[in-house]
Amino acid sequence: MTDHLTLDEQICFPLYAASRAMTAVYRPKLERLGLTYPQYLVMLALWERDGRSVGDVCHALALDSGTLSPLLKRLEAAGLVRRQRSTADERRVDIQLTDRGRALRDEARGIPDEMAVACGLSMDEFLALRSTLRRLTDSLMAFPAPPATPAAIPEDQLNEGEEP
């Protein structure tokens, strides 16, 4: 009988380990650009389409605005982006690349090829893996979240005579 509660039987652990390894290989490449991996993802979204709204970038990167806002502040402080309220809808904040932010794209141009080589996959394997990961992500994001359950109260915090 197979014990499904081992690392070797999990899908989450190889994904986690691969993600950490991928980020570690990206790190020195991005340090040369003055970017962290999450900042690089924001820049990729903006290099793809400049002038996106904060909400649009949140959607593209599957992030919430509380996570994205500090990234944008650091990118703005580095002179790579500019945030401004939309003139059409002042509730919306648009993000524009600066000249420096646009120029950084040329410096980053070789990174995807370097990463493809680092992955050690054939082009067919690389494309198949990317497709599979996209399907996996879509499925997991569509999976209904379980209802919230009350947190267990540690025994040392129970009052004497009370039941949990």
pLDDT confidence tier of residue 148, bands split at 50, 70 and 90: confident
Question: What digits encode the pLDDT tens for the residues 97-115?
Answer: 999 999 999 999 999 999 9
Indicate the SS3 state at residue 108. helix
Q: What are the C-alpha distances in Å from 145 to residues 13, 21, 151? A: 20, 28, 16
More confident residue, 119 or 90: 119
User: What CATH number does residue 46 fall under?
Assistant: 1.10.10.10
Q: Is 80 part of a structural domain of the chain?
A: yes
Q: Is 115 part of a structural domain of the chain?
A: no
Burial class (CB in 10 A: 0-12, 13-18, 19+), 93: middle
Neighbours of 145 (CB within 10 A): 5
Question: What digits encode the pLDDT tens for the residues 63-79?
Answer: 999 999 999 999 999 99
Q: Is 163 part of a structural domain of the chain?
A: no
Q: Is 152 part of a structural domain of the chain?
A: no
Q: Is 154 part of a structural domain of the chain?
A: no
Helix (H) or strand (E) holding 94: strand 93-97
Closest CA to 57 of 122, 135, 47, 3: 47
Q: Is 145 part of a structural domain of the chain?
A: no
Q: Is 13 part of a structural domain of the chain?
A: yes
Residues in the chain: 164
Provide the residue range defining the domain that includes 69: 9-109
Q: Is 164 part of a structural domain of the chain?
A: no
Number of domains in the chain: 1
Do 81 and 53 form a contact (C-beta atoms < 8 A)?
A: no
